[in-house]
């Protein structure tokens, strides 16, 4: 496996389009010897991109129903750092059970293992393998291959970012230190008056920072600006 994965990563470097990547994902499924393999990226601008081996009808259904808001895999990985076995997630709740039922019917294996991946500007992606092995076989399988999956997740995401924006480096213009300060205070719950006092500047100056930050972030109001700054990883609250 180690050798095949290395070969795969090298081979993937040639990919230049998202279609190429989709092809590699299918190849990767064989390398990992599982039934399904999914790479799904959500960037902070709301754009989604997926390369996967699930049936397309299920993908359509998933998007149409906005199942990402229910899917325990997405919700669980979003608040974890380390990869997680689907069995460890919280599957209680009516909506979730209904969702799971549908997913089973659609042919998604009952076993699954997902690796959360995060990139600059609040990018979030998932690398998932799923299968029908028994619990014991699956435990043994995942234990043996966690590291391979972490690496595969990393390189697939790196390639996807590179394809999407030409490089994996983002060209976002930075907020000035004072703009960061201002938004940080607001994110901590201070009112404008309190924030201004905290920073020892006039409330008006504070407003200038907020507005220029709003402009840079393309935000329509203060809350939006703070939200964008947070999801872009610009604030350390």
Under the binding rule (CB under 7 A), the answer on residue 208 touching DNA is yes
Quick note: the x/- pattern for a second copy over 177-216, rule CB under 8 A, is x--x-----xxxxxx-------------------------
**The binder of DNA chosen from 47, 55, 93, 101 (CB under 7 A):** 93
Task: Give dist(CA 10, CA 4) in Å, integer.
Answer: 10
Under the binding rule (CB under 7 A), the answer on residue 68 touching DNA is no
**The binder of a second copy chosen from 7, 65, 104, 220 (CB under 8 A):** 220
Token pair 């070969």 in the structure block, residue: 7
- State the nearest-atom distance from the C-beta of 174 to DNA, in Å: 6
- State the nearest-atom distance from the C-beta of 133 to a second copy, in Å: 24
First to last CA, the chain: 42
Task: Give dist(CA 216, CA 235) in Å, integer.
Answer: 14
φ, ψ (nearest 5 deg) of residue 151: -65, -45
Rule CB under 7 A: which of 148-207 touch DNA? Answer: 174, 176-179, 191-193, 199, 201-205, 207
- 178, 32 contact by CB (below 8 A): no
C-alpha count within 13 angstroms, C-beta hemisphere, residue 11: 15
C-alpha count within 13 angstroms, C-beta hemisphere, residue 142: 22
- State the nearest-atom distance from the C-beta of 184 to DNA, in Å: 13
Task: Give dist(CA 48, CA 126) in Å, integer.
Answer: 11
Of a second copy, DNA, none, which one sits near residue 45, judging by CB under 5 to 8 A according to partner kind? a second copy
- State the nearest-atom distance from the C-beta of 40 to DNA, in Å: 24
Task: Give dist(CA 127, CA 83) in Å, integer.
Answer: 9
Rule CB under 8 A: which of 31-60 touch a second copy? Answer: 42, 44-46
Under the binding rule (CB under 8 A), the answer on residue 94 touching a second copy is no
Tell me whether residue 2 or residue 134 sits nearer to a second copy (CB atom): 2
Under the binding rule (CB under 7 A), the answer on residue 210 touching DNA is yes
Q: Assign 3-class secondary structure to 173-202.
A: CCCCHHHHHHHHHHHCCCCHHHHHHHHCCC
Tell me whether residue 154 or residue 207 sits nearer to DNA (CB atom): 207
Contact positions toward DNA, by CB under 7 A? 92-95, 174, 176-179, 191-193, 199, 201-205, 207-212, 214, 220-223
């Amino acid at each position: 496996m180690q050798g095949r994965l290395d070969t795969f990563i090298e081979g993937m470097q040639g990919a230049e389009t998202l279609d190429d990547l989709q092809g590699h994902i299918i190849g990767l499924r064989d390398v990992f010897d599982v039934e399904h393999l999914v790479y799904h990226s959500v960037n902070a601008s709301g754009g989604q991109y997926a390369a996967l081996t699930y049936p397309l009808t299920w993908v359509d259904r998933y998007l149409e129903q906005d199942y990402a808001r229910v899917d325990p895999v997405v919700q669980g990985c979003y608040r974890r750092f380390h990869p997680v076995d689907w069995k460890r997630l919280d599957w209680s709740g009516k909506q979730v059970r209904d969702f799971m039922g549908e997913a089973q019917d659609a042919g998604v294996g009952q076993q699954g293992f997902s690796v959360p991946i995060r990139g600059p500007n609040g990018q979030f992606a998932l690398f998932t393998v799923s299968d029908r092995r028994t619990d014991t076989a699956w435990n043994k399988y995942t234990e043996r291959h966690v590291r391979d999956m972490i690496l595969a997740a990393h390189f697939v995401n790196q390639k996807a970012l590179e394809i999407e924006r030409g490089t994996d480096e983002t060209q976002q213009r930075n907020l000035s230190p004072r703009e960061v300060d201002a938004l940080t205070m607001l994110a901590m719950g201070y009112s404008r008056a309190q924030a201004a006092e905290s920073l020892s500047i006039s409330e008006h100056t504070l407003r200038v920072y907020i507005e220029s930050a709003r402009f840079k972030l393309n935000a329509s109001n203060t809350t939006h600006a703070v939200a964008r700054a947070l999801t872009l990883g610009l604030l350390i609250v």
